[in-house]
Structure 1
Amino acid sequence: MAATHFTKAIVRIPGSNFAEGLTTAELGAPNYELAFQQHARYCDALRECGLQVTVLPADLRYPDSTFVEDAAVLTAEAAILTRPGAASRAGEVEAIAAEIRGGGFPSVLSINEPGTLDGGDICEVGRHFFLGLSLRSNEEGVQQLGMFLEALGYTASVVDIREMQSILHLKSGIAYIGENTLVVWEEMADLPQFQGYELIRVSPDEHYGANCVRVNDCVLVAEGFPKLTAELECRAFKPLLLEMSEFEKMDGGLSCLSLRF
C-alpha cells in the first residue's frame, strides 16, 4: 500500500478527561470542548480526502487514547500491534485491537515484552521505514518491528532521537508526504538517513507544523505555520489547514489522531 493513498481510518473521540493525559508541553491545559470540535473537523477532513472513517467512542480509562496511531503500525501485508512505552497507556492497544483485527489485514502481529514501541515513532516512506529509537520506543521494540518488516519485504533504518530533549516521537520531527519528499526539522535534516530525499526544512519557530500528513491528494497541516504552508504550495502540494491548538498542548499532532490504511 502506498504511504500516501488510503481508503479507511480509525479514530477515537477524546474523552472528557483528555487533559489528564501525558504531556511535556508547557502550553496550559486543553479546552475539552474546543478539542472535541477540532477532532470533529479532523474527521471531516479525512472524509473530504475520500476516507471511510470509523469513529470509536471516548475511552475514559485512558486519557491519551485519542492518539490511536501509537497503538499499531499498519502495512498492506500486516498490522503490527505495538506496546506503548508509557505505563499509563498499556491498555490502549487491547482497547482498539478488535477494530484493527477487523480491518482486513492478512495477518496481525504484536510487539512483545520487553520491547516497547509507539506508532508515533514509525515513519513509512514507500517500501522503507524510519524507526525512531526514543524514550517511548526502546531498542528491543524497534528490533522486533524491524524483523517483522524485513520478513514482509520492507527495509528499515533506525533514527536515534533519545538525546533530543525537544522531541517526543520521531514523527514530531519528520513526515513523508510523497514525491520523494520529507518534511523535517532543520536540526535533523542533515542526518545521513535522510540523504537522497527532497527536504522541506522546518525552522524551530514552526516545529509543530512538521507533523503533517499526506492523505491522498492533500497534505493535512496544522494551522498557523505560514512558512511551511507556503513551501508546500510552492512545491505543488495541496495543504489542508486544520486548527490543532488543543492537541498541541498534549504533545499530539495530526498523524497521532488516526490509523490510516
Structure 2
Amino acid sequence: MDRLFDRVIVRPPGKSYVNCVSTNPEHETIDVRLAKKQHREYVKILKEYGIDVIELEPLESHPDSVFVQDTAVVGVKSNVAVISRFGEPSRRGEEESIKEVLEKEGFEIKAIKAPGTLEGGDVLVTDQGIVFIGLSQRTNEEGISQFARYFPHVKVVAIPITKIFHLLSGVSYLRDKTVAISPQVVDVDYFRGFKLITIPEDELYANNMLYLGDKNVLIPEGYPKTKEKLRRAGFKPVEVDVSEFWKGDGGVTCLSSPFYTVL
C-alpha cells in the first residue's frame, strides 16, 4: 500500500461541538446530530479502505476535540509520538487523553514545550524524507525546531502561511511526489521537484484531502472541479459529506490522527 499510514485515531463530536472555535459565518447552524452521522460515515470509509481505526469517546470538555489530527504527530518508524502544544489556547488539554492512548500503544512520548506551539494540521508528511510545516497563527518557529529535533532523520521545511489557519488547508500530499496545492494560499516554490495539481481558488476547501492508497483520495462532497482535476491526474476521488465540520473550520484530514509509517 502506497499511503503513509494504516492506522488512525478518531474521536466523534460531542454535544459541545456547537461551541467550537470557528470563523465560519455558518458556525451557528452546526447540527450536532448530523455531524455525528457524518463522522460515522467518515470512519466507515476509512475502514472500507483497510485502515485500522482507534475510536475514542467524545470529549465534552473540549468542543474542538473531534479535530483530533491537531493533538499529535505519530511516527511508527521511529516509535516517537510528538504531543502538540496548541497555538489556540482554548484547545489546550485536548492532547492529554491522546497522550495516554499513545503511551498505551507503546510510543516514546515527546512534547512540544512552551514557548513552542505546534498543531498537527500544520504538518505535511511525505515519503520523500521531507516534512513541511506551516509557520502559522497556530505553529511557531520554536515548535518547528523542537519537532525537527524529535525527528532528526527527516528534513523539516517551514512554510510561512498567513491566509489559512493550517498548512493542510492549502496543500495535501498524495503519492509519487505529487501534491494538491492552492497557490493563492501556499507558495508553490517550496515544492520544486514535486508534481503539482492546482486546486481552483473557488474550491479551496477541497484541498484538505486524505490519500487512502491505490490512487483513492478522500475529498469533501460538492467540489466538481477538484474531482475532475484529480481524475485527470489519474486519481480516484472518494467523496464524503463533511458540511458540519466545514462550519467548524475543519476538514477531511482534521478528523483523524494518522500513525505515519514513514516518520
Q: Structure 1 length normalisation: TM-score?
A: 0.93
Which whole-Å deviations, capped at 9, do the CAs of 1:9-39 have from their partners, x for residues lacking one? 1100100110101011212421111111100
SS in 2 for 1:255: coil
2: CA distance, partners of 1:178 / 1:11: 23
The one-letter amino acid of 1:206's match is E
Deviates further, 47-56 or 22-31:
22-31
Q: CA deviation at 1:146?
A: 1.8
Q: Which residue of 2 aligns with 1:122?
A: 123
Distance 1:3 1:159 in 2: 25
Question: Identity rate of aligned residues, in percent?
Answer: 37
2:213 to 203, 213, 216: 216
TM-score, normalised with respect to structure 2: 0.92
Match of 2:24 in 1: 25
Give SS of 1:7's match. strand
User: After superposition, what is the alpha-carbon deviation per residue over 1:201-245, rounded to whole angstroms, capped at 9, x for unaligned?
Assistant: 112210000000102232111011111111111122121100011
**Which deviates more from structure 2 when the two are superposed, residues 134-143 or residues 180-189?**
180-189
Name the CA distance, whole Å, in 2 between partners of 1:189 and 1:11.
Answer: 27
Whether the 8 Å contact between 2:171 and 2:186 is mirrored in structure 1 is no
Runs of 4+ in structure 1 off by over 6 angstroms are: none
Partner of 1:55: 55
Q: Which residue of 2 aligns with 1:169?
A: 166
Q: Secondary structure at the match of 1:187?
A: coil
Partners of 1:3 and 1:125 within 8 A in 2: no
CA distance in 2: counterparts of 1:57 and 1:190, whole angstroms? 38
User: Which amino acid counterpart does residue 222 of structure 1 have in structure 2?
Assistant: P
Report matched runs for 1:74-153 at 5 Å.
74-76=74-76, 77=78, 78-105=80-107, 107-126=108-127, 127-150=129-152, 153=153
* 2-structure distance, mates of 1:256, 1:213: 10
Residue 182, structure 1, aligned to residue 179, structure 2: yes
> Residue by residue, what CA displacement relative to the aligned partner does 1:105-143 show, whole Å, maximum 9, x if unpaired?
3x2211111111110000001121001111111121111
Q: Which residue of 2 aligns with 1:253?
A: 251
Distance 1:149 1:205 in 2: 36
- Written as runs of structure 1 = structure 2, the 5 A alignment for 1:62-81 is 62-76=62-76, 77=78, 78-81=80-83
Say which SS state the counterpart of residue 15 (structure 2) adopts. Answer: coil
SS at match of 1:101: helix
Q: Contact conserved, 1:3 with 1:124, CA < 8 A, in 2? A: no
Instruction: Write the distance in 2 (CA, Å) between the matches of 1:46 and 1:117.
Output: 26
Assess if the C-alpha contact under 8 Å between 2:4 and 2:126 holds in 1.
no
Contact kept in structure 2, 1:189 and 1:201, CA below 8 Å: no
* Whole-angstrom CA distance in 2 between matches of 1:8 and 1:103: 12
Task: Give the whole-Å Cα distance in 2 for the aligned partners of 1:86 and 1:190.
Answer: 24
**CA distance in 1: counterparts of 2:142 and 2:99, whole angstroms:** 21
**Which residue in 2 is equivalent to 1:43?**
43
Give structure 2 stretches of 5+ with no counterpart. Answer: none
User: 1:6 Cα deviation (Å)?
Assistant: 2.5
| 1:206 and 2:207 correspond | no
Mapped to 1, the partners of 2:4 and 2:124 lie a distance apart of 15
* Structure 2 counterpart SS, 1:54: strand
RMSD, aligned α-carbons: 1.5
> Matched residues in 2 for 1:249 and 1:3: separation?
31
Q: Which amino acid aligns with 2:159?
A: V
The structure-2 alpha-carbon separation of the partners of 1:132 and 1:247, relative to structure 1 and needing over 3 Å to count, comes to same
Q: How many residues align?
A: 254
